[in-house]
Amino acid sequence: MGDAAQITPGAHRELGLTDFEFDRIGELIGREPNEVELAMFSLLWSEHCAYKHSRKLLRRLPTEGERVLMGPGENAGAVSVGAGWALAFKVESHNHPSAVEPFQGAATGVGGILRDVFALGARPIAVLDSLRFGELDSERSRYLFERVVAGIGHYGNSIGVPTVGGEVYFEAPYEQNCLVNAMCVGLAPAGRLVRSAASGPGNVLVLLGAATGRDGIGGASVLASAELEEGDEKRPSVQIGDPFEESKLLECCLELLDRGLLVALQDLGAAGLTSACGEMAAKGRVGIEIDVERVPLREAGMAPFEVMVSESQERMLAVVEPRNLERVLDICARWETGAAPIGEVTGSGRIVVTRGGDVVGDLEVAALVDGCPLYDLEPAEPEGWIYPQPAADPELGGADRGALLLALLASPSVASKEWAYEQYDSIVLSHTVRRPGSADAAVLHLAEAGATVAVAIDGNGRRVACDPYHGTVEAVLECAQNLACVGAEPLGLTNCLNFGNPEKPHVAWQLDRSVRGLADACRALGVPVVGGNVSLYNEAESGPIYPTPVVGMVGELADPRRAGELALVAGQRIALAGPFSPSLAGSELAKLRGALGPGLPRSDVERAGAAIAFVRDAVRAGDVECAHDVSDGGIACALAEMAIAGGVGARVHLGPLAELRGCSGEAALFGEGAGGFLIAGDAARLAALGAAAQAAGVDFIELGSAGGDRLLLDAPGGDVSLSLAEAERAWRSLGERMGKPA
């Protein structure tokens, strides 16, 4: 077949294919694949592309809703925000590249998620990120943290898309496998949304954007192993992002869509042309023929398989009717965006790769895209705590409760992330109503759509490790609570499931239970899952990461002027709303004491959902001026964050909570769990809210008031008394630990 080289025995194993899968390929195509075909199969049958260990589980998720315009299966999901406008959004991982080269790994992760969104025809308007690193006292973790933040800031700031929110955790199991998850939100006229399915035999395939190099070829380089020793020209390189190239590509694609010149559009991300061609052909039930000699190359002498699997950034694949080709090329030239016709849509149901006039690959689309075997997991619940215990802080042994609060506020996972988000432009495009650090969710006013939306991203791998089901339920509830704190009602959810090796029974059990928790929580709250990503095999010799499902949620609110915020104001009354039942199990304090173990309190999703709706309505009505969900570090940390934001002290009494929940004073202060809100406002309005909460069956406890310059928390067995200045110094300490002022 043409000039495609035949493969050496065992090459498939080095590409990640099992003997069973290689034999299956032979059965499907009726012969042994050549090097081009094997490279294509190795990528589309990889876990990253095929979801072969998770696809069956993902069928549990609720995906339909009256506002859903596009669900799973497209480049991103999309929901209606009214008046003919759509909000597109998705979250994806770039974990392994970021561990190898953190700056470019994070930068290209942002670039890739932006392309996923504008591949639908939506203009990106916001980015959020969810990051995990090893403990901050590790030199490697500090380096990764610094370079990942720099990469995110570089790409987002350069392309002019604000980074409006996110989260960062530091835990030992992420030492060798950092997690870099990026979420993008985009806005589009609903009528401009475009799908990725190729159609119309005879239509032209046009490759848009940057030239193709050997970026990200990775394992497929074994197919050229004989030449690797001869020089560096054949070696795979880390993907390099160019935000200015992507900016031109973005504007060019949106203009082409505005003018109705594209039939379909697909991002070139993982697996490059192989994935783009395969997915477009499969969705459209058509064939595709592509000539690799017509692909603009950045490096001379690339083999056909390299062209097909390159992951060079800033590229899109479009389907164009022949009559529109010249107009498309003219617009691309005006935007100084590369554009090359490289093939056409056919009715054959096959992907045919040629080099000049020679066929170097010829595969049935169904075999390549849908033929990958899907595996059943073999889950088994582990006995006891399977992760190393974190080192206990020796200074906490006899510490009073004030010292415990200072230690928690200084803990890198709880401390202010201002050092990171101050490196991001959060207000470019002028949509941002609530900046990072000012509220529990980002708030964006979209004047062109006459809508205001909120966005949040959440997850806590340590708590999911304690209980995969209830920890995941908590993550969904926390995201919905964050939206409620600004007065927003959820419209849809996206997720990124970061886990270890699913072939190991305990990881399979974590994944199975987590997906079940995600499905149950979304169904109970009525929130559809419109898309997401799965990242597996995140582990090293030291063991797997914590199971880390990350959820991103978008919602809408009526009046941006009434969007809730964090800052307390002197004279406000403070109350606790919701079915919050504090427990030290899996908490940040348990971690600092080196006392983690399996088990979390059960989350009452129905009661939490009622509290979410209650707080959301109160914020919208203006009855609550300040709202914050109770999460890491418990009520004590949540109150301190509100006080620091407002520059005012507070005094609260936690005895009634401890009595109601039957918990210790220490748990009332520092315990964690789902469903709790600290809310503040005018005394008369808060009293009226208490009566309304009782009628609605929502737990409501008045705790105290804001004022003075100290944090005073009364609890059974010992109180907390700290100056606001002491608390703020501890909370802002992360920047100093990074060697820079916060």
72-87, pLDDT tens digit by residue?
999 999 999 989 999 9
322 within 8 A of 334, measured Cβ to Cβ: no
682 SS3 class = coil
Distance, in Å, from the CA atom of 507 to the CA atom of 538, rounded to the nearest integer, reads 11
163-199, pLDDT tens digit by residue?
999 999 999 999 999 999 999 999 999 999 999 999 9
Residue 47, domain CATH:
3.90.650.10
| Helix (DSSP H) and strand (DSSP E) numbers for the chain | 27, 28
702-735, pLDDT tens digit by residue?
999 999 999 999 999 999 999 999 999 999 999 8
Does 219 have pLDDT greater than 60? no
Tell me how far CA of residue 141 lies from CA of 102, 147, 175, 303, 591, in angstroms.
11, 10, 6, 37, 18
Tell me how far CA of residue 433 lies from CA of 158, 415, 436, 554, 565, in angstroms.
21, 23, 10, 15, 10
Where a domain ends, among 322, 338, 370? Answer: 370
Does 316 have pLDDT greater than 90? yes
* pLDDT band at residue 5 using 50, 70 and 90 as cut-offs: low
Tell me the residue type at 218: G
Pairing between β-strand 529-535 and β-strand 489-498 as defined by DSSP bridges: parallel
* Residue 234, pLDDT score: 41
Domain assignment present for residue 147? The answer is: no
Domain assignment present for residue 180? The answer is: no
560-601, pLDDT tens digit by residue?
999 999 999 999 999 999 999 999 999 999 999 999 999 999
633-691, pLDDT tens digit by residue?
999 999 999 999 999 999 999 999 999 999 999 999 999 999 999 999 999 999 999 99
610 within 8 A of 697, measured Cβ to Cβ: yes
Does 739 have pLDDT greater than 90? no
Where a domain ends, among 342, 370, 398? Answer: 370
- Domain tally for the chain? 2
Domain assignment present for residue 541? The answer is: no
Q: What's the chain's average pLDDT?
A: 93
Does 232 have pLDDT greater than 90? no
Instruction: For residue 396, give the DSSP letter.
Output: G
User: Across residues 474-490, what is the average pLDDT?
Assistant: 98
Tokens 């395969």 appear where?
Answer: 278
* pLDDT band at residue 2 using 50, 70 and 90 as cut-offs: low
* pLDDT band at residue 224 using 50, 70 and 90 as cut-offs: very low
Catalytic residue among 12, 53, 94, 154: 94
User: Across residues 313-337, what is the average pLDDT?
Assistant: 97
630-648, pLDDT tens digit by residue?
999 999 999 999 999 999 9
Does 140 have pLDDT greater than 50? yes
DSSP letters, 116-152, are: HHHTTTPEEEEEEEEEEES-TTSHHHHHHHHHHHHHH
Where a domain ends, among 370, 389, 424? Answer: 370
Domain assignment present for residue 510? The answer is: no
Distance, in Å, from the CA atom of 191 to the CA atom of 40, rounded to the nearest integer, reads 34
Catalytic residue among 48, 154, 431, 470: 48
342-388, pLDDT tens digit by residue?
999 999 999 999 998 899 999 999 999 999 999 999 999 999 999 99
48 labelled catalytic: yes
* Residue 4, pLDDT score: 64
591 within 8 A of 385, measured Cβ to Cβ: no
Domain assignment present for residue 531? The answer is: no
499-556, pLDDT tens digit by residue?
999 999 999 999 999 999 999 999 999 999 999 999 999 998 889 999 999 999 999 9
Long-range interactions of 21-27: CB distance < 8 A, separation 24+? 21/45, 21/372, 21/373, 24/371, 24/373, 25/367, 25/371
Domain assignment present for residue 207? The answer is: yes
Write out the residue range of the structural domain in which residue 257 sits. Answer: 11-56+194-370
Domain assignment present for residue 351? The answer is: yes
Element (H, E) at 456: strand 451-458
* Residue 644, pLDDT score: 98
User: Across residues 99-115, what is the average pLDDT?
Assistant: 94
Does 215 have pLDDT greater than 50? yes
Where does 101-238 have alpha helices with state H?
A: 102-118, 139-159, 225-228
470 labelled catalytic: no
* pLDDT band at residue 235 using 50, 70 and 90 as cut-offs: very low
* Residue 741, pLDDT score: 45
Does 230 have pLDDT greater than 80? no
Q: Which residues contact 648 (CB under 8 A, 6 or more apart)?
A: 568, 569, 570, 706, 707, 708, 709, 724
* Residue 395, pLDDT score: 85
Does 233 have pLDDT greater than 70? no
Domain assignment present for residue 684? The answer is: yes
* pLDDT band at residue 241 using 50, 70 and 90 as cut-offs: confident
Tell me the residue type at 23: D
Does 221 have pLDDT greater than 50? no
